[in-house]
Amino acid sequence: MILEHDLEGMSGVEEVEHTADRAFHIRGRDLTELLRHAAQVMLALEGGPPTSECFVRRVIEVEGTDRETLLVNWLNEILYLEQTHQETYHHCLLHDVTDRHLRAQLYGRKLHHSVASVKAVTFHNLEVKESSEGLEATVVVDV
């Protein structure tokens, strides 16, 4: 289980100031790690204490026209699954990641009540950039 306060000190993630919404600077050694760290942010923002012992596993495929679109579509797919199925995920496994495609498994539990706080993940000034440590991007989330 990941909760919002776990974001502080989370590896590869740093919250940056944004007047109305939430913004996160995310780093990864490669695209797979960047996508995993970005997912951790979403799981933390949307996460809550599981209110059910019912475990769930979701297998998903996501596509994009480039790295940025793949990143946003990936995070928005997690959001859609959590809010539609009233589930909270604590772990994700990514497979077969390219700049335009990924497969993933999400593990979590059912919630009796949604604790969702995110409306959408945006493309605002989004650019997946090369850095000395691998890749980095700043993602703005509409809350």
Partner 1 sequence: MLSPHDFVRVEEFVWEIPTTYRPDMRVPARLYADEELLNIALTDNSIAQLVNTCTLPGIMQHAIAMPDIHQGYGFPIGGVVATRLPHGVISPGGVGYDINCGVRLLVSQATVEEIQPFLGEIACVLYSNCPSGVGARGSLRLTNPEVDEVLHEGARWMLGKGYADQEDLNHTEEFGRIPGADAAQVSQHAHERGRGQLGTLGAGNHFIEVDRIAEVWDHAIAARLKIYPDNVAVQIHCGSRGLGHQICEDYVSRFQKSVHDYGITLPDRELVCVPLDSAEGSEYLRAMACAANFAFANRQLLAHLIRQSFERVLERRTKDFNLYQVYDIAHNMAKIEEHEVDGHPLRLCVHRKGATRAFGPGSAVLPDDLRDIGQPVLIPGSMGTASYVLIGTTAAMRQTYGSTCHGAGRVMSRAKARKLVRGADLRQDLKSRGIVVCAGSMSGLAEEAPTAYKDVSRVVEVVHKAGIAKKIARLEPIAVIKG
Q: Give the chain as a 3 state SS string.
A: CCCHHHHCCCCCEEEECCCCCEEEEEEECCHHHHHHHHHHHHHHHHCCCCCCCCEEEEEEEEECCCHHHHHHHHHHHHHHHHHHHCEEEEEEEEECCCCCEEEEEEEEEECCCCCCCCCEECCCCCCCEEECCEEEEEEEEEC
Q: Are 66 and 100 in contact (CB under 8 A)?
A: yes
- Using CB under 8 A, which of 3, 18, 60, 105 touches partner 1? 18
- Using CB under 8 A, which of 58, 122, 134, 138 touches partner 1? 122
- Using CB under 8 A, which of 66, 93, 100, 131 touches partner 1? 66
Q: Is 83 in the site for partner 1 (CB under 8 A)?
A: yes
Q: Is 21 in the site for partner 1 (CB under 8 A)?
A: yes
Of 40 and 88, which CB lies nearer to partner 1 in the complex structure? 88
Q: How far is the CB of 69 from partner 1 (least distance, A)?
A: 5
- Using CB under 8 A, which of 9, 11, 17, 112 touches partner 1? 17
Which residues are near partner 1 by CB under 8 A? 15, 17-22, 64-66, 68-69, 72-73, 76, 80, 82-84, 86, 113-126, 140, 142-143
